[in-house]
Structure 1
């Protein structure tokens, strides 16, 4: 029946005519028809009584959405968004000026990245329609961003992306969530919008996301929830001019005039680097050792970041063995392979028009050799200030008003006193209740209801265990009913082994938590039947190329999903029946706990759905050991994994970074070289690559790439070098610039970055009336004019209000006017610096740090140090 309905409608798409068509381009209509036909067996039926345009809108979405979205969200959600999009097109003054292809790809789609979906578009439109009434399209974009800032402010968090509504409810989000939320708000009023993403900066170990919106024939950029007085302006103006790659993913089979990086059946990846930075195009030719072209060779374009050459773009050569790439004017490592042989070369965009890579390497040779690579990022570019002082002042005033609106909303959440009253009412520990209520932010009412209901059922102990084992973000967007499903479904098994971690815990990966326990009631109860049921799931990895997390109930509904969804379904079934199940923390292998295992036998059993473990066991891959020696240098006494070095293994002509850490070491030191190689590390035999790199303050990386082999039953010993340049300033550590303190005269905490603005800054921890601090401040006073001319923020913090009150700046002559004084009231800044910079004694003050927007530290001084000021200034002069 479904197939008949979809076939009839697909034919209608091709024969429909008239101005009422939603899909106007014949090629697009054919693509939608093909997508619908290919999915007809498992797509839901369309609701009765909808209009032809609503049908076309739903068909466009269903033709390209990942299988997870079909399984996890009802048709009603998509229909409400389609109706909201059509309403905005009809009612907004620019609705008739937006080209049809932009409307389909940049207004109609619900999904923006990997966020949890919702019907926020409906409520956003109701709030925004009057605010943008009478505005030009460009001014409406600015206004929407002001509204977004009124709702949400930046806060770092984990990798799961909250829905736009959840961001508003919690009044915060990381850059990926802010940009997703802002794109949703712009689309709500019919403005084409897209999230722009740099997968890796070239000049620092970080990434970022922001927004582009279309108005009157042009794409404009801006920082999400960070309104500026004009468009094409943001704090990332400078970094983006140094970008090697900035891209966006467009829903569906998009055919535009922008460079396509890659095309999948569900989305098109577009290169937008030219919107931000000077770019150059290079041609890469891949040849074998005889000089013949290698047709369809696979190429990785690697940006050095987090001590690895991250494959930011993967392309396939044409039948002549060539491809092209457009990127910012810096260096990438280009890797090419035919699946067995490989070759590589550094490509300097703007300096090289062509690069020839010869596949003259392969595994199994036992060869050990090193290659030094100086990886230079694009140069800093000038940023244009197109804002008058009057515009800046007016914008700052607006932002302050928006802050007050958002802060008033936050202040309406449950107070500590009310949380204590709730705790007393339900007979719970007051501190426990306040901790979960305060962490839950805008979701506090759901958490309070959940605790109240759990207390009434006599399950408060299990309820707190549940709230303890889920993530912070789960507390902020999980409804009470979902938590109750997991509490009630798991409580009967609370005496089972690993109950809290692997039965009660509903979280597996980065999926949205759903009430799967009740849904699993009809599933089999024995582990053998559960394994068989999960194994019968139809795998469809190709239908989820972005790896959107699919819920267990979604897999159950369609009996189809990708491998991760299938595994999640197995874990959900097992845990729902009181059987501990997990991904093993070190190897990541899927396991269950054999409740019938006798004493002395291994109770955790691997689950091998695809025969991979059996094949591995049959192959009996021999293992050897690796030791890496390192002589401490003056700048780096103990390199860190993913900061200074990584190890990668060769497979299929490509090297992939492996995980290395020492679980027995303290958390902060677990990834240090000395901890990892405290004893020889066991590795499978094969070919490996050790990448190390020293990041200089200008962004250049001095890298050494060492290729080596691990032989069965033998130890491989390497000497690692951190290359250095004594004539250049280098990055010596990282810190969190979002750490908060209380500025002098303020009542609310504020982040370091919000105080200093973007760029380099000085952070100091001081102790009033103590000679080491006094000595350092006299150094600072002597450098007053030079520091003021530098015109960057200086944040000087004391450990308490009493310390700050005891400080008398006049004792030191004239200190720079660029200093902001404050109190590290909670000790957050001190603890952060101690951990991230591995400072042994945070009572040894003063501490001075020079760092930048991205938390890259280029100078640290602790305790009494003669000439500290001049040493710090020498670094600043070199930046």
Structure 2
């Protein structure tokens, strides 16, 4: 009996047929695979995958992967109590779809089902979701990493990942066991830097949110509850348009390549339907104009949404209430404006030629973040809160022990390996449970180039690499070693030839693509005469790529880079994929090549240096200056964007400013010098206020072949003290004294004055430099603190920390100080996030006022190293 509807079967067949031309290189493989499939529903799902998933998946994954996932999905539809009766479009998009974000495309479902099936069997959907999240916490937790997305199996093997990886992990675990789930994403926060991803699960006909690997005893809870209510955009992704009505829902549905973006912002906070009208210089509608919505994040104008104007020049979107820069562009013209969507729901833009000279003077811009408005949330009973803390503590211990076991086993393998233990130990340790793959690669022979190859990988690579992929790269590079050295020596690198060979020929990693085999394929693909042409002039590789590859934007996802083999086989490649393909072909044939880490342009080694293929080869040193201390950091207080025409998510070309990646650069000793090719640029400086608003300043400048006439001074605006204040309700929290008694900060504040009297609560990390600075400031300004009658609650984790020399010197100088204790496992992070301060840094200082009802309202918070914290507190308490 058929489980899936005739309507879906027809949809899948139609999508499959529409791609027939693109799928020609795989036609015989697909036909043979489908001929073996004896289930019509499985066949329909396979056709759906081939017809709707990004082409990168279609050409990089084996037919067996699609078949396995389809069979499991059909089984779940037939047997799972959690998805058996949900609407078919919910099942197709949020159970049967194997892709969540831009993770590696592999079949991880069997392992995740084996881990969880018995544990959650017989549970309600609600309890199964909570229990799955506890399992995720037992096996993985948060840790920052590079921008390549680790897959669920890599997370399981290593025990940590960033939020996008955690949420992909949980969504995949839920889908693998028949529970509809989706990743929810805010591209950029408006009130602070960075972004975030979390999860929604479908329970009893409704969607509920939860923090991935951050279990609680109820749904619709997470540290991001307050933050998500301030998001300008919250969305999820579909990888097909089954059941979508774009005419009816055009303000919440948008196509981005092969994805459908589903706008979920209204579920989290106040919104407005913004209409953008784009016209040309004659006042006529500008159909197909590319519209970008941007906000200030990490000191740059970053994109949160992309729209395409309709035949009337209109585009609509549901958006949060705050400041946006709306940009409309074609290949040669552009227009932009600032809009506060809390006050305006319609903007009009007229396209024109760009005159950067007119914007060369500094311009101040006040950027308003959405007001504090926590998303709907489910409160916990005291019993639930206590149970949740206990289970979270247990899960943390289980994970710690589990990961320690991985590391211990990895060290055992390293000790037994033929290569030097000291030389390779770190590679085994970074692989965690994947260490056997490292060992399998190193165990083939004792060649030094095996270790050299591993030295080029990122820490994340070790968690999901395979020995077979590395072997393909090593064998290919060995075959080309002599030719590569000859090439490098010919190009003037006699003294550095071996070093360049290792980094830019032997290395499997190009940028942040998924590692894959490609060398043996390209060796078989190109004949000797063509290879000699490549070596004589590496630009010929790029010419060949441009001549042979097409890019059908509607079949791809911008963030997915196809494997080089898949790109050449399919003859399809986004600009990102084509650049990776260039480097891959060059390295295959012994030509040192790379992507520039700053603008990701492709380069090859020529006459003693790396030269660019797409952009001008020459760069000029441009110096930026500042007297601010500590020196402003790039992507923290300032950034530079270059005016250029690039390919949009719709496949068209559009003019715009694209930020350059000089992450890690900062002004030192008053200046910072960046290498910039000739062109027009926009410089943005920003100061983030505690309430989430930003005081920005920007200007344009031109770089000639000779650089700029003089250094450019950064302009960082200085906010008024009153602009540093917030008004945020804080949940009740309990600290303890040395005897275990409750320390009530609100009560301490009341003892020093009226109900609105402030209290400063500081979570300290004695012995660490940021805390040392704060304590030194308190000691130096002790008299001033006493005069203001500001009570201080200094929180530490252990009585032994009272012996810290700086803390011991400071305490006798202070009056009105209370020492309190906390285990620091939850409260500092919770308070920091509620106050929109950095949750990863200590000391955390919160200035709060007692209210008539006995609660506290936060008015200011700061975390980490901030010179002048005490002086600022003294100014602020005069205003509250």
TM-score, reference length from structure 1: 0.77
Confirm or deny: 8 A CA contact 1:307 1:691 kept in the other structure.
Answer: yes
1:528 aligned to 2:533?
yes
In the alignment, the residues of structure 2 paired with residue 512 and residue 36 of structure 1 have an alpha-carbon distance, to the nearest angstrom, of 25
Q: Does 1:174 align with 2:179?
A: no
Hey, what does 1:41 align to over in structure 2? 24
Q: Does 1:354 align with 2:346?
A: yes
Is it true that 1:727 corresponds to 2:697 in the alignment?
Answer: no
Give the distance between the partners of 1:650 and 1:774, measured in 2 at CA. 46
- The answer to whether the aligner puts 1:487 opposite 2:501 as a matched pair is no
- 1:676 and 2:677 aligned: no
Question: Unaligned stretches of 5+ in structure 1?
Answer: 1-17, 595-600, 662-666, 732-743, 745-758, 823-835, 840-846
Contact preservation (8 Å) 2:766, 2:807: no
1:127 is aligned to 115
How far the C-alpha of 1:116 sits from its partner, in A, is 0.5
Aligned partner of 2:551 among 537, 540, 547: 540
In the alignment, which residue of structure 2 is the partner of 1:391? 384
Contact 1:261–1:313 under 8 Å retained in 2: no
Moved more, 203-212 or 526-535: 526-535
Work out which of the residue numbers 202, 209, 223 in structure 2 matches 1:235.
Answer: 223
Residue of structure 1 in register with 2:46 after alignment? 58
Unaligned stretches of 5+ residues in structure 2: 486-496, 646-653, 726-737, 739-759, 826-837, 848-857
* Structure 1 range deviating more: 646-655 or 801-810: 801-810
Deviation of 1:396 (Å)? 1.8
Match of 2:743 in 1: none
1:154 is aligned to 142
* 8 Å CA contact retained: 1:151, 1:406: yes
1:793–1:286 CA distance, 2 compared to 1 (3 A): farther
In structure 2, the partner of 1:315 is: 307
> Which residue matches 1:512?
514
Offset of residue 659 of structure 1: 2.6
Q: Quick check: 441-450 or 105-114, which moved more?
A: 441-450
Distance 1:585 1:113, change over 3 A: closer
Higher mean alpha-carbon deviation, 140-149 vs 232-241, is at: 140-149
Aligned to 1:815, what secondary structure does the other structure show? Answer: strand
Aligned counterpart in structure 2 of residue 91 of structure 1, from 79, 84, 94: 79
CA distance in structure 2 between the partners assigned to 1:767 and 1:649 by the alignment: 39
Cα distance in 1 for residues equivalent to 2:571 and 2:317 = 40
Mapped to 1, the partners of 2:762 and 2:107 lie a distance apart of 42
* Residues 93 and 711 of structure 1, relative CA distance in 2, 3 Å threshold: closer
- Displacement, 1:713? 6.4
- Cα distance in 1 for partners of 2:789, 2:818 equals 6
* Counterpart-to-counterpart distance in 2, 1:654 and 1:326: 25
Q: 2:777–2:870: 8 Å Cα contact kept in structure 1?
A: no
1:222-274 alpha-carbon deviations (Å, 9 max, x no partner): 11111111111111001111100111111111444764342146221111111
Q: Could you tell me how far 1:660 is from its partner in structure 2?
A: 7.1
Pair 1:263 & 2:266 matched: no
**Aligned equivalent of 1:691, options 681, 684, 692:** 684
Q: Is the 8 A contact 2:798 2:821 kept in 1?
A: no
- Which secondary structure state, in structure 1, belongs to the residue aligned with residue 36 of structure 2? coil
2:798 and 2:217 map into 1 onto residues whose CA distance is 30
Q: Over residues 804-824 of structure 1, what are the superposed CA-to-partner deviations in whole Å (9 max), with x where a residue is unaligned?
A: 9997999889633245589xx
2:324 corresponds to 1:337: no
| Cα deviation, residue 797, structure 1 | 11
Query: Equivalent residue for 2:11?
Result: 28
Preserved contact between residue 2 and residue 40 of structure 2 (Cα < 8 Å): no
Shift of 1:325: 2.4
Moved more, 531-540 or 717-726: 531-540
Q: CA deviation at 1:560?
A: 4.6
For 1:144, the equivalent position in structure 2 comes to: 132
Give the alignment partner of residue 186 of structure 2, picking from 192, 198, 204.
198
List per-residue Cα deviations over 1:782-821 (Å, max 9, x = no partner).
8999555xxx97669999x996999799988963324558
Question: Are 2:404 and 1:411 aligned?
Answer: yes
Match in the other structure for 1:568: 580
Mapped to 2, the partners of 1:431 and 1:78 lie a distance apart of 42
Q: 1:153 to 1:684 in 2, by over 3 A?
A: same
Tell me the SS of whatever aligns to 2:122. Answer: coil
SS at 1:450 equivalent? helix
Are residues 1:82 and 2:50 paired? no
TM superposition shift of 1:777: 7.5
1 CA distance for matches of 2:761 and 2:548? Answer: 53
Q: Measure how far apart 1:139 and its partner are.
A: 2.2
Instruction: Find the residue that maps to 2:818 and give its secondary structure.
Output: coil
**Which residue number corresponds to residue 581 of structure 1?**
593
Q: Equivalent of 1:67, from 48, 55, 68?
A: 55
For each residue in 1:73-119, what CA deviation from the matched residue of structure 2 results, as whole angstroms up to 9, or x when unmatched? 10101111111111111121133311111111111111111100222
Cα displacement string for residues 20-54 of structure 1 (whole angstroms, at most 9, x for unaligned residues): 44553588357525434344423432343311111
Shift of the alpha carbon at 1:508? 0.8
Counterpart among 439, 443, 449 of residue 434 in structure 2 = 443
Structure 1: distance between partners of 2:807 and 2:668: 40
Contact 2:686 2:695 in 1 (8 A): yes
Shift in Å, 1:319? 3.0
Contact 1:150 1:405 in 2 (8 A): yes
Check whether the contact 2:130–2:215 (CA below 8 A) recurs between aligned residues: yes
**Conserved? CA contact 2:189–2:232, under 8 Å:** yes
Change (3 A) 1:182 1:675: same
Q: CA RMSD in A?
A: 4.3
Tell whether 2:110 aligns with 1:114.
no
Indicate if the aligned counterparts of 1:784 and 1:815 stay in contact, CA closer than 8 A: no
CA shift, 1:150, in A, is: 1.8
Q: C-alpha separation between the residues in 2 aligned to 1:684 and 1:771?
A: 43
- Offset at 1:296? 4.0
SS in 2 for 1:409: helix
Contact 2:634 2:666 in 1 (8 A): no
Partner of 2:561: 549
Task: Check 1:314–1:584 CA distance in 2 against 1; reply closer, same or farther (3 A cut).
Answer: closer
From 450, 455, 460, the equivalent of 1:468 is 455
Give how far 1:295 is off: 4.0
- Cα pair 1:641 1:672 within 8 Å, conserved: no
Q: CA deviation at 1:153?
A: 1.1
3-state SS of 2:696 partner = strand
- 8 Å CA contact 2:257–2:556 kept in 1: the answer is no
CA distance in 2, matches of 1:317, 1:787: 56
In structure 2, the CA distance between the partners of 1:656 and 1:527, relative to structure 1 (3 Å rule), is farther
Report the counterpart of residue 753 of structure 1 in structure 2.
Answer: none
Q: Output one character per residue of 1:830-855: Cα deviation in whole Å (capped at 9) or x when no partner.
A: xxxxxx9xx9xxxxxxx9664999x9
